[in-house]
Structure 1
Amino acid sequence: MKTAAFRLLWTGQTVSTVGSAVAGASVPLVALLVLHASTFEVALLTAVAWLPWLVVGLPAGAWVDRWPKRRVMLVCDVIQMAAFLTVPIAWASGVLSVPVLVAAALVGGFAKVFFSLAYRAFLPSVVADGDLLGANVRLQGSESAAQVGGPGLAGLLATLFGPVSGVLVDAVSFGVSALCLRFLRADEPAPGPRTRLREEIGEGMRIAARDPYLRVMVLSGATSNLALNGYFAVQVVFLVEGLGQGPGAVGAVLALGEVGGVLGAALVSRLARRTGTAWAFLWCEALVVPALFLGPLAWPGWGRTLFVLAGAGCAGGVVASNVLGGTFRQQYCPRHLYGRITASSAVVNYGTIPLGALLGGALGEAAGVRVAMFAMAGVQAVSFAVLLAGPLRRARDFPRAALAVQSAA
């Protein structure tokens, strides 16, 4: 592992993730408490942040394969910083509105598409293949720790300075990430032979569709993201209006739930050694289903404990499965094809996120937030059933790169 380069990458991403975790709680609070938005409008903010995957996801993967990854990440950080700075500026100017929040989320979402694809493809340039699992554990562990502290910090900032201050923190965090990338040095491999953009996109789609492991993970991931984001899009509304929580309490409850993500990142390597990487992945995905059913059973007072336990189980399962699934793809996919394969998978996976958010918001408006959360938990159960229908239950460990090369041929 190239220690100095990885340390800069790790630091920048940790700070940026803290900012994003703060914003994840602050933006709905701004919409609810400052702008008095409806449940559907709050869900819309989640939807538009992920809509760019449907718009530019496929060509973005091919473009990222052609471009220097570090430079792409640096530019995207600057764009996201500028986008989210518009929110506190608009608030200070007295012109903040739901459309301003939507515009900031949309612009930031487009930049995030390119950043995410470049980031995943860039990590193997900083970390040796044998160290990828350990590096992903550290990165995901820091991200989980940030998710623990972020909502609590958002609640504290909202109580002391107002919800908009959390969005300002997010903008500053992107600046810190950009500075870290500015001073990071790593040898990136030369891009593969360039063909027509349509052919490169098609190549990535064919590999993702034909490979039995990638295909089942894409389909399950898409269903899971529909469920999780329909659930997450209304959880702040559930805490504020269903459980009567103020900004500080909302941040505390969300933060306590995210402790499960820290535990998931800490224990995933041990679980993978004991059960095998593929079976560990399935066990982690299985944990999420009962956790989601537990959340909407919460009630005011001590009943909030159920929501915290649900959040911990969900975060633990999702974080650990993300570590294992991400490491598998980085080792399995040929590096010169990684961007387009990942983009093809991500368009399907992430394309359901705005749909899930809108569905959760619509169900919450029509039938109540609690009903919407139960419905999303049911969809998550379908996601796990899709995984069980594939080859993972028959393979103790994920396959290695040789099979991916054959699939790509």
Structure 2
Amino acid sequence: MSQSELRETRAERSLWRDGNFLTMWSGQALAQLGSQVTELAIPVLAVLLLNATELEVGFLNAAGVAAFLVVGLPAGAWIDRMRKRHVMIWADAVRAVALAALPLLWWAGLLEMWHLYAVAIVIGVATVFFDVSYQSILPSLVRPQQIAEANGKLQATYEMANIGGPAIGGWLIGIVAAPLAILTTVGTYLASAVALLLTRDHEQPRAADDRAPMLREIGEGMRWVFGNPLLRRIVTTTGIFNFSHTLSMTLLPIFLLRELGLSPAAMGVIFSLGAVGGLAGAIATPHIVRVIGEARAIPVSAIAFGVVACFLPLAATFPAVAFPLLVAQGFVASFTVLLYNITQVTFRQRITPSRLLGRMNASIRFCVYGVMPLAALAAGGLGTWLGVVPTMWIGAIGEVLAALFVIVGPFWALRALPDAGE
């Protein structure tokens, strides 16, 4: 092959030359940025404007993720029967309309905590359908050898949003108040829907004769996930980590705004600086995988994000250095979680048949996200009973223990994770 032909082949293989992927990617970049603004604005609204208690913050967090427990499994079976891009467009539209209700209620002087719960539930259901479709659509947009690169780009965008979103959110809250800052996210969800309308995929809906009863299809997805010993260990570690992490993160707004006395702007800066680690992790993951191997990246990252979880409650013990301690915790945690997620998501997309992608992702999300509403409720109860800081210590210890399921196992003996059919 000549040098010119080699350059043409590389250009064809580069996602930077794929206008279709870039269209979808740009829409997701805006949506992720807006989502980060709202993730800061809604807790600030609840804690500072509506004077929410620990228990009410727990209910609010639980409402936002309850859908993964309630509709997570059937969503996968439904999505495997539909065009995933169309599902994502409708989900964006629903999220935009639901969020727009909050500033309107605030402007009318009617906003109460139960409105936040209701909006969180609606957005949570739409997000379940969006996220399962989002993690299942890549094989219909890019070639198999480009999936890891595409995941890396999408995760890097997510971390860029984590960097800019909280800082922008903190600034907007200071300028126009939390309810109006939420309108930013409404606009970005609408932009995402337009980008998806302009995206083209080659997905073919499953034929009617390739469909089984719903419960059987759900069971097929669960058996696929738990029948693979490597996936089973990954799901167990991720589920315990998410439960424990949610115990801490549910009470984080109260911890930062009340216990440490920080401002919303300072809270946004902490999140933004910590998220730089995620961007670094997305960039460094291919290099780390080449050095230590794809399989070993799983336990290495699990050990690291478990250990640094203890930095969070330590900030209460050393308030003089709380700010840099929290930034360091966020940086290392974001870096290692990105290394873990890019590696394991690429692995499971690679080994799963296309007809099972939706159910595979929904089954995993049911297990690893379905524990989060339970953890949020537990955080509200424990925070009321024991206090904020002891609850965060319980969460940190749980994150350390979560790593055991991938530390003890076959990952160290492997270098590369298996491909489909191996």
TM-score range, shorter chain: over 0.9
Instruction: Give 3-state SS (helix, strand or coil) of 2:370's partner.
Output: helix
1:266 to 270, 283, 289: 283
Aligned twin of 2:39: 24
Cα distance in 2 for partners of 1:189, 1:341 equals: 18
State which structure, 1 or 2, has the greater radius of gyration over its C-alpha atoms: 2
Q: Work out the CA distance in 1 between the residues paired with 2:57 and 2:421.
A: 45
1:12: which partner in 2? 27
- CA distance change for structure 1 residues 44 and 274 in 2, over 3 Å: closer, same or farther? same
Q: Distance in 1 between matches of 2:179 and 2:338?
A: 28
Query: Which residue of 1 is the match for residue 6 of structure 2?
Result: none
Check the 8 A contact 1:212/1:390 in 2, yes or no: no
Partner amino acid, structure 1, of 2:294: T
Q: Do the aligned residues in 2 keep the contact of 1:258 with 1:311 (CA within 8 Å)?
A: yes
- Number of residues of Structure 1 aligned to a counterpart in Structure 2: 403
Distance, in Å, in 2 between the alignment partners of 1:76 and 1:303 is 38
* Alignment match, 2:414: 395
> Aligned residue for 1:114?
129
* TM, length-normalised to structure 2: 0.93
User: Could you list the per-position Cα deviations for residues 349-374 of structure 1 after superposition, in whole angstroms to 9, with x for gaps in the alignment?
Assistant: 11111112222222222222111111
Once superposed, which parts of structure 1, at least 4 consecutive aligned residues long, lie more than 6 Å away?
A: none
SS in 1 for 2:385: helix
Q: Which residue of 2 aligns with 1:369?
A: 388
Report deviation, 1:301.
4.4
Give the letter aligned to residue 236 of structure 2.
L
Moved more, 183-192 or 202-211: 183-192
2:403 match: secondary structure: helix
CA distance in 1, matches of 2:381, 2:166: 25
Shift of 1:383: 0.9
Q: Describe the SS at the equivalent of 2:310.
A: helix
Distance 2:162 2:79 in 1: 28
Aligned residue among 299, 309, 315 for 2:334: 315
Distance in 2 of aligned mates of 1:287 and 1:75: 38
Give % identity: 34
User: In structure 1, how many angstroms separate the alpha carbons of the residues matched to 2:408 and 2:380?
Assistant: 30
Counterpart amino acid of 1:12?
Answer: G
- 1:154 corresponds in structure 2 to 169
1:352 counterpart = 2:365: no
Q: Which SS does the other structure have where 2:343 is aligned? A: helix
Distance in 2 (CA, whole Å) between partners of 1:207 and 1:175 is 35
Q: Conserved in 2, the CA contact under 8 Å of 1:244 and 1:300?
A: no
Deviations 1:72-91 (A, max 9, x none): 11001000111111111111
Q: Deviations over 1:200-229 (max 9, x none)?
A: 111111111221011111111110110111
Aligned-partner Cα distance in 1 for 2:196–2:137? 11
Post-superposition CA distance 1:319-341 (Å, at most 9, x none): 22111111111101111111112
Unaligned runs of 5+ in 2: 1-14
Aligned residue for 2:264? 247
**Deviation string, structure 1 residues 169-224 (Cα, Å, up to 9, x no partner):** 12221111001001111211342611111111111111112210111111111101
Matched, 1:221 2:245: no
d(CA) in 2 for partners of 1:170, 1:154 = 10
- TM-score normalised by L of structure 1: 0.96
Alignment-derived partner of residue 192 in structure 2: 177
Task: Give me the CA root mean square deviation.
Answer: 1.3
Q: Secondary structure at the match of 1:66?
A: coil
In 2, Cα distance between the equivalents of 1:344 and 1:186? 24
